[in-house]
Amino acid sequence: MKLFKRGKFWWIDIHEKNKRKRISTKAESKTDALKIFNKILEARFQRKWNLEISGQDRRLSDLLERFLLTHSKARKKKGSYDRDVAAAKHLSRLLKNPNLAELSSALMSEYRDIRIGEGASSSSIRKEMNLLDHALRYAKQWQWISYDPIGKVEKPSMPPEKERWLSFDEEQDLMRICPAWLQEIILFALETGLRRGELIHLTWNRVNLDEGTLYFAPHDQKNKTSSTLPVSDIAWDILKSRYTSRRQNQQFVFISKDDKQLSGNALSKAFDRACGKAKIHDFRFHDLRHTFATRLVQAGVDLYTIQALGRWKSITMVKRHAHHNIDTLKAGIKNVNSFRRQANFKSKVPNLRYHKNLRHKIGTLWFDKSEQAI
């Protein structure tokens, strides 16, 4: 085996069983080409000595099929599983079902570029590439491969997070449009921060009206932990009203007109129609959860409490959901100003000596009385 360059790509010259084969690495840099060369060399070594871990006899279709069955379908909810299936279809369509040992960083870079050219979003491409990364980690556990054949491939950068929440004026406009059943659901989501799935699956055995709390078991939640959450006065009033008017043997708190469990898609469509009529644009049902977190931040609630109320795994997730507006930021600056005045210390700042207007505002906090006459 030897490595040589032809045109802009590096090639591998292979002699095997009295036959000569030349394979393009599709890599322009020698460093990347050497990585591919070494992987092929290792695979040939394993095959020569009848080593089991080679990946030569396992194809991408085998990997994705087993991963979807044993991991996605067994451990994820239907929506997440369906997204994994869709991602796997794109991988199979463009990668053409190679042996696992034939996967490479150059191949995945080409896949990424093709998907970008097809107009796929950065989020979709990252999910597809992450799915394959995850599946390959399982392949190592199953001893299908002995190393990661892809390595690190740069993924498309994510667009900046949008800052979208419902103002109180928008809330009033939306409530005027909505029918009574949808008003209750929207208001309950705003007051509790429940996800759409948690809301439509909420059952009466999870509600404690005496304590004013909701209980969530690990399988009820995205973070797979149990939680007991207090509810606001408005949310408690909604629960009390629905409990009083509930039908006999009614399992779910929020039901459809025909006394069945609400459909998530039907709820989202009704919500989107109402937002359209109220002229509220670029707003999804899940953004009600963002609004819940944002209002807590703007009310001065600390991030750790918000994390517990919203049941996010990390403070980073809270920051993605909660945002300040300009009024609360101004209030924060006012606190800085009052803190400085309360400190009542003296300090000399030479580079401000001739800024009389600024010196007047700072006053005795930064300058001696004798200096203020300058």
> In 137-219, at which residue ranges do the beta strands (DSSP E only) sit?
207-208, 213-216
Lowest-confidence segment of 33-37, 212-216, 313-317 by average pLDDT: 313-317
What CATH architecture applies to the domain 168-283? Orthogonal Bundle (1.10)
> Mean per-residue pLDDT for 135-164?
82
pLDDT above 60 (res 328): no
Which one-letter DSSP state was computed for residue 69? I
Determine the pLDDT at residue 353. 47
Task: Find where tokens 């009542």 sit.
Answer: 344
Q: By percentage, how much of the chain surpasses pLDDT 90?
A: 24
Structure tokens at 328: 């609360």
Superfamily of domain 52-159: Tyrosine recombinase, N-terminal domain (1.10.150.130)
pLDDT above 70 (res 99): yes
Identify which has the larger pLDDT, 196 or 324: 196
pLDDT above 60 (res 22): yes
Q: Are 209 and 311 in contact (CB under 8 A)?
A: no
pTM: 0.58
Nearest 10 degrees: CA dihedral of 93, 94, 97, 98?
Answer: 180
The chain-wide mean pLDDT, for the chain, equals: 79
pLDDT above 80 (res 162): no
pLDDT above 70 (res 326): no
Query: CB burial class (10 A; 0-12, 13-18, 19+) of residue 279?
Result: exposed
Lowest-confidence segment of 34-43, 66-75, 80-89, 284-293 by average pLDDT: 34-43
Determine the pLDDT at residue 134. 93
Nearest 10 degrees: CA dihedral of 23, 29, 34, 36?
Answer: -50
Identify which has the larger pLDDT, 181 or 56: 181
Q: Given its phi and psi angles, is residue 300 left (phi above 0), alpha (psi -120 to 50 degrees) or beta?
A: left
Determine the pLDDT at residue 338. 59
